[in-house]
Amino acid sequence: MPVFEYAPAPESRAVVDIAPSYGMFIDGEFAEAGDGKVFKTLSPSSEEVLSEVAQAGVEDVDRAVKAARKAFETWSALPGSERAKYLFRIARIIQERSRELAVLESLDNGKPIRESRDADLPLVAAHFFYYAGWADKLAYAGYGPDPKPLGVAGQIIPWNFPLLMLAWKIAPALACGNTVVLKPAETTPLSALFFADICRQAGLPKGVVNIVTGDGSTGAELVAHPGIDKVAFTGSTEVGKAIARTVAGTKKKVTLELGGKAANIVFDDAPIDQAVEGIVGGIFFNQGHVCCAGSRLLVQESVQDELLDALKRRMSTLRVGDPLDKNTGIGAINSAEQLARIRALADAGEAEGAERWAPQCELPSSGYWFAPTLFTGVTQAHRIAREEIFGPVLSVLTFRTPEEAVAKANNTPYGLSAGIWTEKGSRILWMANKLRAGVVWSNTFNKFDPASPFGGYKESGYGREGGRHGLEAYLDV
Amino acid sequence: MSERLSVLKTYKLFVGGKFPRSESGRVYEVTDAKGTWLANAPLASRKDARDAVVAARKAFGGWSGATAYNRGQILYRVAEMLEGRRGQFVHEVADAEGLSKSKAGLQVDAAIDRWVWYAGWSDKTAQIAGSANPVAGPYFNLSAPEPTGVVALLAPQDSSFLGLVSVIAPAIVTGNTTVVVAAEAAPLPALSLAEVLATSDLPGGVVNVLSGRTAELAAPLAAHQDVNAIDLAGAGADAELATELEKAAADNLKRVLRPQPVDWPATPGTARLLAFLETKTVWHPMGA
């Protein structure tokens, strides 16, 4: 059979107009940092500098919190039906500008346009639609007849889904009547600043949404600021623990969405082709920069060879490269720092005796890249089976009985997600019951929806985002 | 004829369904509100606290896996057994809190009624805290609450029995297992409750009761890597201690219930019940 090569299918960059520099967004205005400090944000696929962004300091954070406090008085007093309309407007504008935002997100983050266009942006709009509808129905949410907002929410989001994490944080906060100060990640600040412009277009009152840009130090200032009533954080477990220590003894309410080391468990009766798609999507979606990624494949010993052959065949068809090419399956690693971490852990996997495999694939010469990688012969003691790699690296372990699968799956301090692949319904329900994880995908993986609660057990953090459960984080209950 | 000499009781800890003395061999004097000696209570050590966590972890699988109906029956059984020993608890609460017999009686009655109230919650929490989620795709998607695991409970210092029951019952009815640090100055009602729990079909290890210095026992519990949550009620009077414990709890991201003033006789609401639950969401494709 002849092999047809892919022709280049680049999405146009012309739909997005990136300014050479951006201020942060405080009280409805873009502003420089008080001390004039800036940092650069670049495209991880080319290392091209996209723009310069203000590095917020102590005083900038303080100004943003004060603006949010002032806006809280009027915003929380608005009838829920009016708040709802603002959120519906935002959702609509996001839909209108979704192509522009998808290209921007792929440029700044390195993720394939196929994912930013088909996964991130539709979910971003859906989150605002979902929570818009709650704003005037909070009395029915199960938190009492008249639940109150908390006040000012300080929100810190990661670089893996910059705009989606913003939507997860801002939509429920505003629906409940809170105002927010949000800090996007240092490597991916641009879509949040474009969102500020969407707030302006929607006529959102000044100070309701404030965006402070900066690194971890800006985030730490925000968490420690006495003027905030609520901390919402998505990111690493290590930083989550530091935040939990900072807020100890205060009245600040906290929700943390942290790391994971999910087991994707495949039984011998699983539909192999579907399972392989689920495994590939589970670990290689978004370059593996996913806290709920299925990074530990637990395969029943009797189908190990068959499954691994199919998996390797499938992995050989993955296309790594230009994020803006519509045929790209795996984009760039988000930063040099993250690439170094992935390399170090993969090297540790080899050093500790696991067997490394990656398909033949040519990586671009500039930018940050890591080929989709598989480790076999992994034991539970290996670092690659215990630590979150946050990259396109899959560790394969085996089991014989369902009990052993459960024991190995739960053998981790994390508890965010898990996957089960089997045709046997009773086994799915039994396993789902036994797994200590906040989200269990059976015969599917990495599905998200604004109506569905998401969040972890154990060291994967506390609180839930999404659904009715997600409202609790922003109400005084 | 000489007056009969009463038989004094040796109070012991309650760990894993058994009644050991403290491994440290230590005791401390417990007095009534006027300072009169009542008994020597075990002064539990850090090792006792760790042993209690091991017992609670061991009991978690069975207790969380029991049916809600079964857990409800057992909580109701606790109320039945307490009713039969009401007099003893009235006596102990009156001594511990310096109350008249009639006022202590009200506390004990309220505590018994609280077991009944929580017994009824066993098969209802999933219905009020769970949900079917209408996702935009062909998926079955259901969220249900589950117990968070081993919960350390610092029993309130201001209510030796009603307060104690009010922190234990909501934690265990949903399937958590617990290590309870009794009120420091008034531990006897808690140690006697253990005798009731031991004869109420409650599996060993679901509730473990320690008496001693709250601050000394709370520190290893807050830092323990195999404890999933901590209720700081009993540290409420000492803001500095509560803050230190919350910081230690951050090390494995324990769920923390911060201390707050509570009107123990009032109907509790669901806050304590829901504080030690996780939400699990299960997805499955739908198609013919």
**Which residues does residue B131 pair with via DSSP β-bridges, in sequence order?**
B143
Q: Longest C-alpha distance within chain A, in Å?
A: 69
**Which residues of chain A have a CB within 8 Å of the CB of B149?**
458
CA atoms in the 13 A half-sphere facing the CB of A147: 24
| DSSP output for A340-358 | HHHHHHHHHHHHTTPEEE-
Contact by Cβ (8 Å): A427, A327: no
Contact by Cβ (8 Å): A421, A445: no
Contact by Cβ (8 Å): A95, A123: no
pLDDT of residue A181: 98
Residue A470 sits at φ, ψ, to 5 deg, of: -65, -15
Alpha-carbon distance B206 to nearest alpha carbon in chain A (angstroms):
19
Alpha-carbon distance A256 to nearest alpha carbon in chain B (angstroms):
9
Contact by Cβ (8 Å): A256, A452: no
**H helix intervals, A156-271:** 162-175, 190-201, 216-224, 237-247
Alpha-carbon distance A311 to nearest alpha carbon in chain B (angstroms):
22
Among candidate residues B232, B233, B203, the one with its CA nearest the CA of residue B57: B203
d(CA B252, CA A5): 50
**Which residues of chain A have a CB within 8 Å of the CB of B283?**
439-442, 444, 447, 452
pLDDT of residue A361: 87
Where b means 16+ CB within 10 Å and e means fewer, A274-294 reads ebbebbbbbbbbbbbbbbbbb
Element holding A32 (H helix, E strand)? none
Helix, strand, or coil (residue A96): helix
- What strands lie across the sheet with A38-42, from one edge to the other? A21-22, A49-54, A38-42
| DSSP output for B131-148 | EE---SSSEEEEEEEEE-
- Give the model confidence (pLDDT) of B50-62 as tens digits: 999 999 999 999 9
For A142, nearest residue in chain B (alpha carbons): B128
Contact by Cβ (8 Å): A263, A408: yes
Q: Which of the four pLDDT bands, split at 50, 70 and 90, describes residue B288? A: confident
**In A270-365, which ranges are E strands?**
296-300, 355-357
- Give the model confidence (pLDDT) of B15-70 as tens digits: 999 999 999 999 999 999 899 999 999 999 999 999 999 999 999 999 999 999 99
Residue B186 sits at φ, ψ, to 5 deg, of: -135, 65
d(CA B31, CA B13): 18
Among candidate residues B230, B244, B234, B231, the one with its CA nearest the CA of residue B211: B234
Assign residue B9 a region (left: φ > 0; alpha: ψ between -120 and 50; beta: otherwise).
beta
Among candidate residues A98, A99, A94, the one with its CA nearest the CA of residue A14: A99
**Which residues does residue B180 pair with via DSSP β-bridges, in sequence order?**
B153, B209
Closest partner residue to A438 (CB to CB) among B252, B253, B280 is: B280
Closest partner residue to A438 (CB to CB) among B139, B141, B281 is: B281
pLDDT of residue A1: 63
pLDDT of residue B1: 63
CB pair distance less than 8 Å for B136 and A451: yes
Interface probe, candidates B244, B256, B270, B279, chain A, greatest A C-beta count within 10 A: B279
Percent of chain A with pLDDT over 70: 100
CA A92, chain centre distance (Å)? 22
CB pair distance less than 8 Å for B284 and A452: no
Q: Which two tokens stand for residue A51?
A: 């723009």
- Mean residue pLDDT across chain B: 97
CB pair distance less than 8 Å for B253 and A256: yes
| DSSP output for chain B | -PPPPPPPP----BBTTB-PPPTT--EEEEE-TTS-EEEEEE---HHHHHHHHHHHHHHHHHHHHS-HHHHHHHHHHHHHHHHHTHHHHHHHHHHHHT--HHHHHHHHHHHHHHHHHHHTTTTTHHHHH-EE---SSSEEEEEEEEE-SEEEEE--SS-TTHHHHHHHHHHHHTT-EEEEE--SS--HHHHHHHHHHHTTTPPTTSEEEE-S-HHHHHHHHHH-TT--EEE-GGGTT-HHHHHHHHHHHGGGT-EEE------TTS---SHHHHHTEEEEEEEEE---
| Torsion, Cα of B28, B33, B38, B39 (10° steps) | -20
Residues of B with CB under 8 A from a CB of A: 128-129, 131, 133-137, 139, 141, 143, 148-149, 228, 239, 242-244, 246-247, 249-253, 255, 271, 278-285
**Which residues of chain B have a CB within 8 Å of the CB of A455?**
279
Cβ atoms within 10 Å, residue A225: 19
Percent of chain B with pLDDT over 90: 98
Q: What is the mean pLDDT of residues A424-433?
A: 98
Alpha-carbon distance B173 to nearest alpha carbon in chain A (angstroms):
18
Q: Which two tokens stand for residue A443?
A: 């015969």
For A429, nearest residue in chain B (alpha carbons): B282
Q: Which two tokens stand for residue B125?
A: 């929490």
pLDDT of residue B242: 98
Q: Residues of A numbered 102-161 whose beta carbons fall under 8 angstroms of chain B's beta carbons: which are they?
A: 126, 142
* Pairing of the two strands B37-42 and B131-132: unpaired
CB pair distance less than 8 Å for B250 and A245: yes
d(CA A47, CA A366): 7
* Pairing of the two strands A209-211 and A355-357: unpaired
**Which residues of chain B have a CB within 8 Å of the CB of A432?**
280, 282
**Which residues does residue B41 pair with via DSSP β-bridges, in sequence order?**
B28
Closest partner residue to B239 (CB to CB) among A249, A432, A451 is: A249
- Give the model confidence (pLDDT) of A432-452 as tens digits: 999 999 999 999 999 999 999
pLDDT of residue A5: 86
Q: Say which residue the tokens 């522009």 belong to.
A: A100
Interface probe, candidates A441, A457, A460, chain B, greatest B C-beta count within 10 A: A457
d(CA B209, CA B200): 15
Percent of chain A with pLDDT over 90: 98
**Which residues of chain A have a CB within 8 Å of the CB of B257?**
none
For B284, nearest residue in chain A (alpha carbons): A442
Closest partner residue to B282 (CB to CB) among A440, A467, A469 is: A440
CB pair distance less than 8 Å for B282 and A432: yes
pLDDT of residue A4: 84
ipTM, two decimals, is 0.96
Element holding A255 (H helix, E strand)? strand A253-257
Residue A355 sits at φ, ψ, to 5 deg, of: -100, 125
Q: What is the mean pLDDT of residues B75-86?
A: 98
Closest partner residue to B247 (CB to CB) among A248, A438, A440 is: A248
Residue B33 sits at φ, ψ, to 5 deg, of: -60, -25
Among candidate residues B277, B240, B238, the one with its CA nearest the CA of residue B257: B277
CA A117, chain centre distance (Å)? 15
Helix, strand, or coil (residue A278): helix
Q: What is the mean pLDDT of residues A8-29?
A: 97
CB pair distance less than 8 Å for B253 and A126: no
Q: Which of the four pLDDT bands, split at 50, 70 and 90, describes residue A355? A: very high
**Which residues of chain A have a CB within 8 Å of the CB of B138?**
none
CB pair distance less than 8 Å for A457 and B255: no
Closest partner residue to B282 (CB to CB) among A142, A442, A461 is: A442
Q: Say which residue the tokens 């009990």 belong to.
A: A403
- Mean residue pLDDT across chain A: 97
Cβ atoms within 10 Å, residue A201: 13
Q: What is the DSSP letter of A2?
A: P
* Pairing of the two strands B177-181 and A152-156: unpaired
pLDDT of residue A3: 77
d(CA A92, CA A124): 11
Q: Which of the four pLDDT bands, split at 50, 70 and 90, describes residue B2? A: confident
pLDDT of residue A469: 98
Among candidate residues A135, A129, A153, A274, the one with its CA nearest the CA of residue A223: A153
pLDDT of residue A2: 72
Q: Which two tokens stand for residue A256?
A: 């943390």
CB pair distance less than 8 Å for A447 and B280: no
d(CA B63, CA A326): 52
Among candidate residues A227, A225, A239, A149, the one with its CA nearest the CA of residue A185: A239
CA atoms in the 13 A half-sphere facing the CB of A399: 20
CA atoms in the 13 A half-sphere facing the CB of A270: 31
Q: Is the pLDDT of residue A71 over 70?
A: yes
Q: Residues of A numbered 237-276 whose beta carbons fall under 8 angstroms of chain B's beta carbons: which are they?
A: 237, 240-242, 244-245, 248-249, 256, 258
Based on DSSP, count helices (H) and strands (E) in chain A, helices before strands: 15, 17
| Torsion, Cα of A441, A188, A186, A461 (10° steps) | -10
Q: Residues of A numbered 439-468 whose beta carbons fall under 8 angstroms of chain B's beta carbons: which are they?
A: 439-444, 447, 449, 451-455, 457-459, 461-462, 464, 467-468
**Active-site amino acid positions of A:** 257, 291
Among candidate residues A286, A120, A264, A252, the one with its CA nearest the CA of residue A178: A252
For A425, nearest residue in chain B (alpha carbons): B284
